[in-house]
Amino acid sequence: MSTTYLEAIREGLWEEMERDPNVFCIGEDIGEYGGAFKVTAGFLEHFGARRVVDTPISEAAIAGASIGAGLMGLRPVAEMQFADFISCGFDQIVNFAAKCRYRWNAPVPIVIRSPSGGGIHGGPFHSQNPEMWFVRTPGLKVVCPATAYDAKGLIKSAIRDNDPVLFFEHKALYRKIKEDLPTEDYTVPIGKAKVVREGTDLSIITYGAMVWTALEAAETLAAEGVSVEVVDLRTLVPLDRDTVCESVRKTSKVLLLHEDTRTGGMAGELAATITETVFEYLDGPIVRVTAPDTPVPFSSTLEEAFLPNAEKVIEKARWLYRY
C-alpha cells in the first residue's frame, strides 16, 4: 500500500515512539487536534498526554523546553506549526541548542520539525524556506527530505541522532507524493546525498520539493538528448560534498536549484564548494535556478512566477548544455 510523504513522517515518528520510551512530541495543537497538518493525528489517543505535549503559543518555550528535556536524556520531537514561526524561537535554537555540546559537552538530542515551502497559496508567512538560517549556524544539523522513503528514514535517523536536528518537511509534498515503503524498520543516514537520476551531460544539485522539479526537467531534457544527473542532497548539514563533487567530475556542468530565495541560498555554498574542489572539471559557468529575492507572494500569478519550475530549469539547462 502506498504511503504519502506525510504518512511516512507520521509512521516514522510513531515507530520511534513505540521503540524508545524517551521519545515524545511537543508543540501547538498536536494533541487532540493532531497538528495543523495532522502529522500527529491519533498520537494523543495512543500515547497519552505525557508523550504528546500540547503547548501554549510559545515557540521559544517549545524550543527551550525541548532543549531542557533533551539535556535530561529524553528525545523530544518539537513541531513548529509552520516553519515561518521558527523565527519566534530562534535564539533558543541557534544559541542554546547549537552550542551546548561544543561549550560544555552536553548533548541536545532534539528534533525540530517544520512544515516549510510554498506552492499552497500561503503567502509571505506560510511559505518560507528558512533552512539557511540554520545551515550557517554550526552545531545544528539540517535535513530536507524529498521522498516519502527518505522522509521516514530520515525522521528516524534525526530522532536517534545525538545532536539537534532541524527537519524541514515540504508541505506541498505532504499529500502529493506517495510510494511503497518497506514494512521493516529502516533508516536513511543523515549526511548522505543521493544520485536520484544518473546522467552524463549536466548535474542538477537540489533538495526538497525541487528534486521533483529537477526530475521533471531531466525527463524533458532526455527527450532532447541531454543526459541530466540529479543529485538530491537530502541533508544540508552535514553536507555530502563528496557526492556533489563526484557528480561534477562526471558531468562538468552544474545547475544548482532551490526553492529558497537566491542571495545567501544553498546554491552559494555549493558553488563555493565546487569551485574550490573540482574547479578543473568545470566546463561552463555554475548556473542557479532559485526563487528571486522577494518575500513569497500570495496571489497565484505572482507565486507561480516566483517559484522555480521545470520550465525555468529546462531553459537554463539548455543554455548550459550548449555552452
Partner 1 sequence: MSAVHAAGAELDRSVAAAGTPEAALAHKCLYYMQLMREVEDRIERKLYRQGKVLGGVYVGRGQEAISVGSGLVAIPEDVLFPSHRDMAIFFIRGISSRRVLAQYMGRVGGLTRGRDGNMHMGDMDAKVVSIISALAATVPVAAGAALAMRYQGSNGVAFSYFGDGSTSRGDWHEGVNFASVQKLPVVFICNNNQYAYSTPLNLQMACANVADRGPAYNMPAEIVDGNDVLAVYAATERAVAHARSGKGPYLLECKTFRMTGHSAHDMAHYVPKGLFEEWGKLDPIVRIQQRMLEENWATQAEIDQVHAAVTAEVDDAVAWAEASPFPDPSTLLEDVYESQ
Ligand X SMILES: Cc1ncc(C[n+]2csc(CCOP(=O)(O)OP(=O)(O)O)c2C)c(N)n1
| Cell numbers representing residue 315 in the block | 531553459
**Options 57, 120, 302, 305; binder of ligand X; rule CB under 6 A:** 57
Look up 126 and say whether it is catalytic.
yes
Residue 37 in contact with ligand X, rule: CB under 6 A: no
- Member of 11, 16, 59, 269 binding ligand X (CB under 6 A): 59
Q: What mask, x for binding partner 1 by CB under 8 A, covers residues 163 to 182?
A: x-------------------
Which position among 121, 126, 170, 258 bears the catalytic label?
Answer: 126
Kindly write out the interface string for residues 78-107 of this chain, putting x where it contacts ligand X by CB under 6 A and - elsewhere: ---x---x--x-------------------
Half-sphere exposure of 212 (CA within 13 A, CB side): 13
Which residue among 70, 119, 208, 265 contacts partner 1 (CB under 8 A)? 70
CA torsion sign for 55, 59, 61, 64 is positive
Closest approach of Cβ 177 to a second copy, in Å?
A: 27
- As beta bridge partners, residue 202 has 228
Q: Is 76 in the site for partner 1 (CB under 8 A)?
A: yes
Give strand ranges (E) for 172-266: 178-180, 194-197, 202-206, 228-232, 235-237, 254-261
Q: Which residues pair with 79 in a beta bridge?
A: 27, 113
Least Å from the CB of residue 114 to ligand X: 12
Instruction: Say if residue 238 is preceded by a cis peptide, omega within 30 of 0.
Output: yes
Does 188 participate in binding partner 1 (rule CB under 8 A)? no
Which residue, among 295, 299, 297, 300, has the nearest Cα to 130 in the 3D structure?
295
Told to check if 165 binds a second copy by CB under 8 A, we report: no
SS3 state at 101: helix
Examine residue 293 and tell whether it contacts a second copy (CB under 8 A).
yes
Query: Does residue 263 interact with partner 1 by CB under 8 A?
Result: no
Cell digits of residue 266? 544553498
The conformation of residue 86, written as its DSSP 8-state character, comes to G
- Give the residues lining the site for ligand X (CB under 6 A): 28, 57, 59, 81, 85, 88
